């Protein structure tokens, strides 16, 4: 791994890159300084745990607290993590120097090698690398995009909106059955939104591709003049960031149709308040006005579903549900408390697809329009 240091950047850095670069060199300089002074080199990484997350009732989003975890080189349990942190920083520096971006997996392969004189790899799985990347993000206070990293494209969008993606005009109403794949980086440098080119009146976010497919096939977005997105489960940062931008820049309300299970509740919670792990990005992503349209735990009775669609709650689900009920941002909301309690009392969960048992297009033709009509949602 002995790479010759390349001080001279090969491409011209953007002001944003320059800022990132300063932070990266600052990190390295501190190591040199500590080594020179024969001190123990260490980095203080803001902790990304529930205990260091604060719910701001005023902003209605999750914010990161101030507690930090010290990661020391000369600590048996942290030495490897420290080494990995430095490796990721050097990898990002290389990307910046060359003006290129890479996927998380790409960086993982870039940095993965066998440590000299040991039968040990720097990284064994991509997951190990990904968490370190998040560490570096909070450590340098630079988001992933600024480190020239992107994740796999996930999530799709259709609707009455036209946008610019790296200079290409994308008309989201002419996307066929596949839709527009939402990229990982949706910063203004990549995607430009224009209020004038958006006819849609709201955004409907669904949990999964299969449900989204249903809505798309029934041309729900056409009939109701909206934008239809999905996040393939827990929405990735690209989807959340784009929803945030559309919500704020185009002033579109966001409605979510998610499964009636703890997982679905948490997806909604992440969209609305931000995630615990990425609390530092909440203010760039959280949409406190997002509404939870369904499925509700009363829907089994309300929609008169058959018993066959019930999925029993397992112990994990119950535990998770109780945990979610205790989150400060749910705790004070009575409708939410009764919603969760109702699910626990039902002792089963419901997927959005369960509505198909009524009729194939029940969800698009009856369920969602009715809810929207009645303004029947949870906040």
The beta-strand segments (E) located in 208-302 are 226-230, 254-257, 291-294
Establish if 123 lies at the interface with another protein (CB under 8 A).
no
CA distance 234 to 264: 9
Region from 5-13, 143-151, 176-184, 350-358 binding another protein, contact rule CB under 8 A: 5-13
109 is catalytic: yes
List the Cα angle 318/322/324 in 5-degree steps.
Answer: 115
**150's tokens:** 């992107």
Closer of 73 and 203 to another protein (Cβ): 73
CA distance 268 to 307: 26
Closer of 62 and 140 to another protein (Cβ): 140
55, 109, 180, 362: the active-site residue: 109
Region from 71-79, 139-147, 154-162, 262-270 binding another protein, contact rule CB under 8 A: 71-79
Closer of 5 and 176 to another protein (Cβ): 5
Exactly one of 25, 121, 199, 223 binds another protein (CB under 8 A); which one? 25
Establish if 13 lies at the interface with another protein (CB under 8 A).
no
Establish if 360 lies at the interface with another protein (CB under 8 A).
no
Closest alpha carbon to 146 in 183, 88, 195, 92: 92
Q: Give the SS3 label for residue 3.
A: coil
Q: What is the DSSP secondary-structure string of 303-315?
A: TT--GGG-EE--H
CA distance 166 to 153: 15
Closer of 86 and 258 to another protein (Cβ): 86
Closer of 36 and 375 to another protein (Cβ): 36
Exactly one of 11, 14, 16, 35 binds another protein (CB under 8 A); which one? 35
Closer of 75 and 376 to another protein (Cβ): 75
Exactly one of 43, 53, 61, 86 binds another protein (CB under 8 A); which one? 86
Closest alpha carbon to 303 in 362, 351, 360, 249: 362
Backbone Cα Rg of the chain:
23
Exactly one of 12, 15, 38, 332 binds another protein (CB under 8 A); which one? 38
Exactly one of 45, 62, 87, 138 binds another protein (CB under 8 A); which one? 87
Establish if 10 lies at the interface with another protein (CB under 8 A).
no
The region, left, alpha or beta by phi > 0 then psi within -120 to 50, assigned to residue 178 is alpha
The region, left, alpha or beta by phi > 0 then psi within -120 to 50, assigned to residue 316 is alpha
Confirm if 294 and 367 have CB atoms less than 8 A apart. yes
Closest alpha carbon to 48 in 263, 238, 280, 235: 280
Region from 59-67, 117-125, 131-139, 140-148 binding another protein, contact rule CB under 8 A: 117-125
**196's tokens:** 């004038």
Exactly one of 36, 58, 195, 345 binds another protein (CB under 8 A); which one? 36
Establish if 11 lies at the interface with another protein (CB under 8 A).
no
Interacting residue ranges for another protein, rule: CB under 8 A: 1-3, 5-7, 24-25, 27-29, 31-32, 34-36, 38-41, 73-74, 76, 79-80, 82-83, 86-87, 89-90, 93-94, 115-118, 120, 122
Residues serving a catalytic function are 109
């Amino acid at each position: 791994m002995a790479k010759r240091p390349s001080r001279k950047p090969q491409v011209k850095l953007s002001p944003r890159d320059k800022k990132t670069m300063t932070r990266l060199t600052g990190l390295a300089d501190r190591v040199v300084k500590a080594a020179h002074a024969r001190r123990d080199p260490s980095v203080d990484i803001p902790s990304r745990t529930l205990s260091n997350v604060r719910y701001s009732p005023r902003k209605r989003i999750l914010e990161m607290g101030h507690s930090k975890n010290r990661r020391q080189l000369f600590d048996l349990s942290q030495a490897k993590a420290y080494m990995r942190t430095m490796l990721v920083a050097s990898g990002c520096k290389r990307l910046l120097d060359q003006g290129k971006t890479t996927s998380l997996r790409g960086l993982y392969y870039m940095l993965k090698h066998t440590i000299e004189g040991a039968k040990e790899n720097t990284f064994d799985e991509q997951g190990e690398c990904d968490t370190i990347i998040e560490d570096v993000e909070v450590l340098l206070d630079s988001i992933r995009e600024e480190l020239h990293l992107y994740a796999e494209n996930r999530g799709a969008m259709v609707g009455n909106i036209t946008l610019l993606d790296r200079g290409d005009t994308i008309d989201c109403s002419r996307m066929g059955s596949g839709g527009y794949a939402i990229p990982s980086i949706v910063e203004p440098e990549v995607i430009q939104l224009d209020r004038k080119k958006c006819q849609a009146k709201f955004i409907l976010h669904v949990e999964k591709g299969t449900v989204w497919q249903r809505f798309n096939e029934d041309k729900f977005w056409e009939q109701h003049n909206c934008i239809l997105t999905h996040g393939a489960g827990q929405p990735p940062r690209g989807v959340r960031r784009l929803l945030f931008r559309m919500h704020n820049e185009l002033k579109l309300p966001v409605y979510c149709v998610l499964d009636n299970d703890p997982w679905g509740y948490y997806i909604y919670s992440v969209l609305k308040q931000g995630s615990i792990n990425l609390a530092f990005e909440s203010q760039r992503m959280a949409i406190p006005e997002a509404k939870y349209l369904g499925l509700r735990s009363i829907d089994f009775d309300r929609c008169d579903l058959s018993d066959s669609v019930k999925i029993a709650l397992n112990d994990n689900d119950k535990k998770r549900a109780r945990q979610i009920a205790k989150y400060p941002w749910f705790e004070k909301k009575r409708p939410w408390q009764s919603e969760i309690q109702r699910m626990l009392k039902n002792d089963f969960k419901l997927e959005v697809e369960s509505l198909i048992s009524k009729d194939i297009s029940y969800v698009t033709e009856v369920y969602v329009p009715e809810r929207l009509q009645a303004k029947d949602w949870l906040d």
